[in-house]
């Protein structure tokens, strides 16, 4: 199990740091460390250069050794035959001529090779860093989310802040009293306007971010703090320290519609599949459950579809694959350190990779077959993996404490990470998505604008 304790360093820090203020790092001068140009030695004829510097110039440097006319004629003829009439000694050789195609490509029956896809450049440093003072250093909470309207929400102690990625502006959404807070989870609704906020006193509040207004409070779901939230259209699923998972229909007064009971300790990870039919839940009891909504019942606690016990530490990091609906990735805590892949239809474990450190969060690349993981001790890094080989593509470092939370921009290119070092960093790790090619226009039939004669 992972001891997720609140950091006491935030109390000792001064109030001079402003939330979500950008940190400016001194950049190196582009003219520094310029290396000299070293030519290609394979393109030089050192034998000829040595001859011209020694033997070829003895006649000019020693008057006593003047050659006869016959010797001079022989030397010129030999120089022409040996291609030695060159003025430049250390000269570059020209590139060889392009090979002549005996059979033009348009007449060749062989399949044409596709051009190799250029390798994507992955910046090794964050493109932006913001201050996040009083960020709670707790493995079991979920304090960061990026909405569909390109607004990022982050909870710092008792306050929820909004950062607009379009213009970089920051605003304060809500601040809660000590009897209610701190904030233990945040999650945007699919519309990108409404946001759910889980609190330490077991309540969940719904807010309208545009109007800066609280809409309602969900009570009676849990007996203790609500550390995980997940939306499925109008259904808000909440997971608490009491081990319960509750589906809430936010449209009706009696909001509790289903209850899932299977975890013995705090539920710290919740994720709905893209289809909305399956829910994955991870807990501090080292268990991973798959729930199927088609067999859910509001009368009694719902039986899980799969109960997976392979992890040996808390399961918080969960991510459904965007290109394979029944593929789920899960990450274990400090005592497990593994990323596991599951077929949620059969419950089979497809692969397990030991990452060497606590797995805090997982995100799939929406445009490539890649998976990004964030980690704790010892490197506190973000690791980009190639799926399914799980070969490391890149390791991104910069945080000085465990990277507890990650969120992905709506376009899928940028990833925000928040760590116990009280910084929020932005990484251009997934690159720019390829522009979809327009569908080819079909050739219109002749006289298509005329009415057909029946």
- Report the 10 Å Cβ neighbour count for 252: 10
Q: What is the pLDDT of residues 226-257, one digit of tens each?
A: 999 999 999 999 999 999 999 999 999 999 99
The string of pLDDT tens digits covering residues 311-338 is 999 999 999 999 999 999 999 999 999 9
The closest of 306, 222, 202, 218 to 262, measured between CA atoms, is 306
pLDDT band for 78, please (50, 70, 90 cuts). Answer: confident
Confidence (pLDDT) at 118: 76
| φ, ψ of residue 138 in degrees (nearest 5) | -135, 120
135-166 pLDDT, tens digit each: 999 999 999 999 999 999 999 999 999 999 99
300: confidence class by pLDDT, cuts 50, 70, 90: low
Q: Residue ranges of the domains in the chain?
A: 128-427
Q: Is the pLDDT of residue 17 over 80?
A: no
pLDDT per residue as tens digits for the range 263-289: 999 999 999 999 999 999 999 999 999
pLDDT at 414 over 50: yes
Q: Give the pairing type, strands 327-332 and 315-320.
A: antiparallel
What does the block give as tokens for 56? 């070829």
**How many helices and strands in the chain, by DSSP H and E?**
4, 28
**What is the token pair recorded at 432?**
């720019």
Q: Residue 337: left if φ>0, alpha if ψ -120 to 50, beta else—which one?
A: left
pLDDT of 452 higher than 50: no
- 362 pLDDT higher than 90: yes
Strands of 336-447 (E only): list them.
338-343, 348-354, 359-364, 370-375, 382-386, 391-396, 403-408, 415-419, 423-427
Is residue 441 scored above 70 in pLDDT?
Answer: no
Cα distances (angstroms) measured from residue 343 to each of 177, 193, 347, 363: 44, 33, 5, 17
Query: Which class in CATH covers the domain with range 128-427?
Result: mainly beta
pLDDT tens-digit readout, 30-69 = 444 555 555 666 666 677 666 666 655 454 344 444 556 7
**Is a pLDDT exceeding 50 seen at residue 449?**
no
pLDDT at residue 136, rounded to an integer: 96
């Amino acid at each position: 199990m992972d001891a997720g304790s609140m950091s006491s360093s935030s109390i000792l820090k001064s109030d001079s740091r402003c939330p979500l203020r950008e940190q400016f790092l001194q950049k190196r001068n582009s003219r520094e460390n310029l290396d000299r140009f070293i030519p290609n030695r394979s393109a030089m004829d050192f034998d000829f250069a040595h001859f011209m510097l020694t033997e070829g110039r003895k006649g000019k440097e020693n008057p006593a050794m003047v050659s006869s006319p016959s010797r001079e004629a022989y030397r010129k003829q030999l120089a022409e035959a040996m291609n030695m009439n060159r003025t430049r000694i250390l000269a570059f050789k020209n590139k060889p001529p392009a090979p002549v195609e005996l059979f033009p490509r348009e007449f060749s029956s062989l399949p044409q090779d596709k051009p190799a896809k250029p390798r994507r450049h992955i910046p090794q440093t964050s493109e932006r860093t913001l201050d996040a003072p009083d960020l709670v250093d707790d493995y079991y909470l979920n304090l960061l989310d990026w909405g569909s309207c390109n607004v990022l929400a982050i909870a710092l102690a008792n306050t929820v802040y909004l950062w607009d990625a379009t213009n970089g502006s920051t605003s304060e959404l809500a601040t809660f009293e000590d009897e209610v807070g701190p904030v233990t989870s945040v999650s945007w609704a699919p519309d990108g306007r409404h946001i759910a906020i889980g609190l330490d006193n077991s309540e969940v509040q719904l807010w309208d971010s545009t109007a800066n207004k609280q809409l309602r409070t969900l009570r009676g779901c849990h007996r203790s703090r609500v550390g995980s939230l997940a939306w499925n259209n109008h259904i808000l699923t909440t997971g608490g320290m009491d081990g319960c998972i509750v589906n809430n229909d936010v449209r009706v007064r009696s909001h509790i519609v289903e209850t899932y009971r299977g975890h013995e300790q705090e539920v710290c990870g919740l994720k709905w599949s893209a289809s909305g039919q399956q829910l994955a839940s991870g807990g501090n009891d080292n268990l991973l459950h798959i729930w199927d909504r088609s067999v859910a019942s509001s009368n009694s606690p719902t039986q899980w579809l799969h109960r997976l016990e392979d992890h040996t530490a808390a399961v918080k990091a969960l991510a459904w694959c965007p290109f394979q609906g029944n593929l789920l990735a899960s990450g274990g805590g400090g005592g497990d350190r593994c990323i596991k892949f599951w077929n949620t239809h059969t419950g089979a474990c497809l692969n397990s990779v030991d990452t060497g450190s606590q797995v805090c969060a997982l995100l799939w690349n929406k445009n490539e077959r890649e998976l990004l993981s964030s980690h704790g001790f010892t490197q506190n890094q973000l690791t980009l993996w190639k799926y399914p080989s799980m070969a490391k593509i890149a390791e991104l470092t910069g945080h000085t404490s465990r990277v507890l939370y990650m969120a992905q921009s709506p376009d899928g290119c940028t990833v925000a990470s928040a760590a116990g070092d009280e910084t929020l960093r932005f990484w251009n790790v997934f690159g720019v998505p390829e522009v979809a090619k327009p569908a080819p226009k079909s050739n219109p039939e002749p006289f298509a604008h005329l009415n057909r004669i029946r």
